[in-house]
Amino acid sequence: MRRYLPFAIIAAVFCIASVAGVELYQSRNEKPAPTGKLAFGKPGADPPHMHGRPKAPVALEEFGDFECVPCSKFWPVLKQAQKEYGDRLSVTFRESPLVKIHPHALEAARAAEAAGIQGRFWEMHESLYADRYIWIGAGDTRAALVLCASHLELDLERFKKDLDGDEVSKRIAADRERYESLELTRTPAVFINGDQLMTAPITIEVLRAAIDSALGEKTK
């Protein structure tokens, strides 16, 4: 019996090595599990408002509020990043009006979504930040937002109707559900390929470093 013991040990080691080798091979061929908060939570409004190439190597998702001061300061930073990274960066915007502290934010979000129904979301997004002090300081916020829509040459009757429409309400509610499901508490909340940027404020240097890391590059 002792004569065969070494052979039995060798056979056992071979079997273990074979099983381990198969598991290693399978693990290399399986897609890695998604990481980051972006992989979880409610889906948000569909289709989302995305600017850039859908399959860009870096996907940025922002939860923003048009009345929010930090959001308005992040807006030019994001524009600079889009200019620098081009089609390597996609940007998705989620409506996150903080109605308890920003009395005009919901109306602005509705205006952006109403413009989006006419295919002009990003133009209204730009206008709301560029003319932020005008519509916030106006005695009649709704009239000021309609004026913004007129500058974009939208169908104003349709725009006014959509401002109070169910489609706009459902999109904002869906984005709000996503915001809450990710346990967010402030705006802007920014994710890069699923990982939230925790630094505040988000300067162009901070954003470049995050994008370069996602691209596997070193920030100059």
Query: What does the alpha-carbon distance between residue 148 and residue 66 come to, in Å, rounded to a whole number?
Result: 14
Residue 193's CB: how many other CB atoms inside 10 A?
A: 18
Write the DSSP symbol of residue 196. Answer: E
Q: What is the pLDDT of residue 11?
A: 46
Q: How far apart are CA 75 and CA 171, in angstroms?
A: 22
pLDDT at 183: 94
List Cα–Cα distances, 109 to 26, 83, 98, 164, 192, in angstroms: 47, 25, 10, 12, 23
CA distances from 130 to 20, 65, 85 (A): 59, 14, 22
Q: What is the pLDDT of residue 84?
A: 97
pTM summary value: 0.81
Domain ranges of the chain: 1-30, 37-215
Low-confidence ranges of the chain (pLDDT < 50): 1-2, 4-37
pLDDT at residue number 37: 45
pLDDT score at 176: 97
- Tell me if 90 sits within 8 A of 51, measured CB to CB: yes
Q: CA–CA separation, 116 vs 110, rounded Å? A: 10
CATH assignment of 37-215, given 3.90.79.10, 3.40.30.10, 3.40.50.1100, 3.40.50.2000? Answer: 3.40.30.10
C-alpha 12, offset from chain centre: 52
Residue 220 is predicted with a pLDDT of 58
- Predicted local confidence at residue 219, as pLDDT: 62
